[in-house]
A and B are shown apart, each in its own frame.
Chain A
Amino acid sequence: MRRALRERIETGAMLAPSVVLLTLFVLVPLCVVAAFSFALRDPYGAVLPGFTLDNYRDLFQSVYLLVFANSFKLAATTTLLCLLVGYPVAYFIAFKAGRAAPALLLLLLIPFWINFLIRISAWVVLLGRGGLINQGAMALGLLDTPVGMLGTYGATLVGMVYAFLPITVFPIYAALTPIDRRLVEAGADLGAGPAETFLRITLPLSLPGVLAAALFVFVPSMGVFAIPVLLGGGKEIILGNLIVQLFLEFRNIPLGAAVSILLLAFSGVGILLYMRALGRVEAMK
């Protein structure tokens, strides 16, 4: 009896730090933000006590709807591009690379060793008017005059894919490696071509990894702010920029809180979709 009590006290002591951390610094702050998103604001944007839906009503102005549309478009395109490039790479490392696989995975980690802002700055230089890509294209005769690639949507996408590609490859690779190769061989023995075995065996078995990769790319993509500013010239305002501006520049806390809650809801929907899709994939097996 005393032993059981002691174990319970011990367990409580082990759990206390994480419970306190999550409650005090995640749950309570999120509740405060949710409360502030319904608060009144004075002309300078500071919080006044009260209850209003004006902050959310303001978000339905076309300016803000456009910001949401921009963010969604950027996050969805980034996710799609990362999956299209990341899947074949993960597939190659898992099944074709053989003994080179660990080295390739390590090479893919190199970008993580370098501050991501500095990596993005490398792209700022490469894509510039006098940059190596323009120089190279002109030297090869592909271009007559340098093209302004910086400050375009394409430049933003290059930076986004560059930043999120490693995060895409790892979960897909992790889902591909445990696939029993005998299943694929069995498919081939039963007369299925490589495309059919891929579509009916390899791809379905690796879907949980693909879904995880999509989630890991989509959620942070919705909140980025540095890459579109540095590579896209900050022309299209997205959620990340809006939140930074509302909180740190305009100090319009109630409106910023409403934007944050909406972004949180967006991510919540993403996670729910992920879990439903995962459930469906697992039911298929």
Chain B
Amino acid sequence: MSATGTARRGPGWITRTFVHGISGWLTLLTFIFMLAPIVVLIAFAFNSGRSTVVWTGFSLDWFAKVWSNRHIARALNVSLVVAIASAAIATAIGALAAIAITRRQFPGRDVLGAALAAPLVLPEIVLGVALLVFMSYAGVSLGYRTMIVGHVLVSVPFATLIVRAAASSLDPQLEHAAADLGANEWQTFRMVTLPQLMPALFTSFILAATLSFDNLVMSTFTSGVGTTTLPLRIYSMLKLGITPEINALGTLLVLANVTILFLVMGRYLPLMLKTNRR
């Protein structure tokens, strides 16, 4: 008994260190690798000098500079319009398709399900190029319209998948109960099905808006004159050289995201707890 125990411990010690022990160290190093650049980035947003490397003193000048930069304000405005519009459209289209796919029988159901996930695995750059070529061929000028269509394409797979997952886990008995109690189809949908899908719709909207707000590739091909988004503006700023203004902008974006996340959590958590209790 003890003989086999020690025999097992012999080579086992090495594998435990390398298969299991090393995963802990690698995880730690990975998190340093992922997060340290962000910490440095935020720290140098408060540098007083022009350098993003040499610390010369504390100041908030770069934040003031971002605040008064008209190009950034304009780009932020464009990004927000496109993010909100495309997220709303993608969520609506994705939710309708997801509900039909999970609830209804129709020919080509599997094909549509796969096709809606396709933009996830097709290179975005090709979708962008195709849209650019098609829109100019059709005589549509580049601008908000083309960019919103492009961003909807990028986020509709996520919207569909999220709502599909939620719709397929709904309890059909609740709807039968509503029907038994005399609710018509529309009332059942509005008062039973929809409230249960709200968390998924909300998640889908937030995710789609985030993807749109961060998008560079699709915007590169579908934005027009005067509809430069924030990532496009940042890309052209970066090509000219990095000043703490970029860091300050990044810090403000982190702050905005954390605020939104907390608002979402504040709204989303009670919803999750409620559905769990039920």
Chains A and B belong together in one complex: yes
**B201 interface residue per 8 A CB criterion:** no
| Chain A: interface residue total (CB-CB under 8 A) | 83
Residue from B11, B125, B149, B156 in contact with A243 in the complex, judged by beta carbons closer than 8 Å: B125
Q: Are A130 and B54 in contact (CB under 8 A)?
A: yes
- Is A220 an interface residue when CB atoms closer than 8 A count as contact? yes
Closest to B94 in A: A18
**Across the interface, do B129 and A243 meet the contact criterion of CB distance under 8 Å?**
yes
Partner of B26, one of A89, A126, A244: A89
- Number of contacting residues on B, CB 8 A? 82
Residues in B neighbouring A112, C-beta threshold 8 A:
210, 214
Contact A32 B104, CB 8 Å, known A22-B115, A126-B37, A194-B16: no
Measured CA separation A223–B104 after assembly (Å):
37
B residues 17-41 in Cβ contact with A at 8 Å = 19-20, 22-24, 26-27, 30-31, 33-35, 37-38, 40-41
Tell whether A244 pairs with B242 under 8 Å between CB atoms, given A88-B22, A89-B30: no
B237-278 contact mask (Cβ, 8 Å, vs A): 1 or 0: 011001000110110011001100100000000000000000
Asked whether B130 lies within 8 Å of A260 as measured between CB atoms, the reply is yes
- Asked whether, in the complex, the Cβ of A14 is within 8 Å of the Cβ of B40, the reply is no
- Determine if A131 and B131 form an interchain contact, defined as CB atoms under 8 angstroms apart: no
Task: Report yes or no: B220 in contact with A131, Cβ–Cβ below 8 A.
Answer: no
Q: A116 and B214 in contact (CB under 8 A), knowing A15-B96, A26-B119, A26-B127?
A: yes
Asked if residues B133 and A29 are in contact (CB atoms below 8 Å), the reply is: yes
| Cβ < 8 Å to B, chain A residues 1-44 | 7-8, 11, 14-15, 17-19, 21-22, 25-26, 28-30, 32-33, 36
A271 touching B121 in the complex, CB below 8 Å, given contacts A25-B134, A118-B234, A253-B133: yes
- The distance from the CB of B35 to the nearest CB of chain A, in whole angstroms, is 7
What 3 A-B pairs come out closest when comparing CB atoms? A29-B130, A29-B134, A113-B257
